[in-house]
Amino acid sequence: MKTTWIVDDDQDMIKALSLMLQLLDYKAHAFHSARQAAKALLAGKRPDLMILDINMPEVTGLDLLEFIRSRRQWSTLPVIMFSSEAADVQVDRAMALGANAYIFKPVTIEELEDAIVRATQSTHK
C-alpha cells in the first residue's frame, strides 16, 4: 500500500481525504502544517505522494512545494496541490513551481483518483 502525506490545517478535510485515499488503496498520513511535513522530509521520511493545501498559516503549501522542488532528492516526488482557490494565477504558480496536479475543494473521489494518476505519471525535473 502506497503512502500519501496530506498537508492541511483543516482537520475535517484531512478526515475526508484520508477516507477517500483509503478507498483508493492508499495509506494516509496527516500533517497539520507545512513545517511539520518539511521536518519529516528532512528527517529522511518520504511518501509516495503528497497532497498540499495551499492556504495554511505561516508556511504555505506553495512554500513547501518550492522547498521540495529545490532539493534533488525530492525532485520526482509526486505533488498534488489542493485549494479552494480557483484563480488561474494560483494554479499557474503552483504548476510553474513543479506541482504535478491541482485539485479544488471540495473534491470528489473521481477527481482525486484522476489527480493521483496524473501526478504519479508525470515528473518535474
Provide CATH code, domain 2-9+23-103.
3.40.50.2300
DSSP per-residue letters across 27-93: EEEEESSHHHHHHHHHTT---SEEEEES--SSS-HHHHHHHHHTSGGGTT--EEEEES---HHHHHH
User: What is the residue extent of each domain of the chain?
Assistant: 2-9+23-103
Spell out the per-residue pLDDT of the chain, length 125, in tens.
Answer: 899 999 999 999 999 999 999 999 999 999 999 999 999 999 999 999 999 999 999 999 999 999 999 999 999 999 999 998 777 888 999 999 999 999 999 999 999 999 999 999 975 44
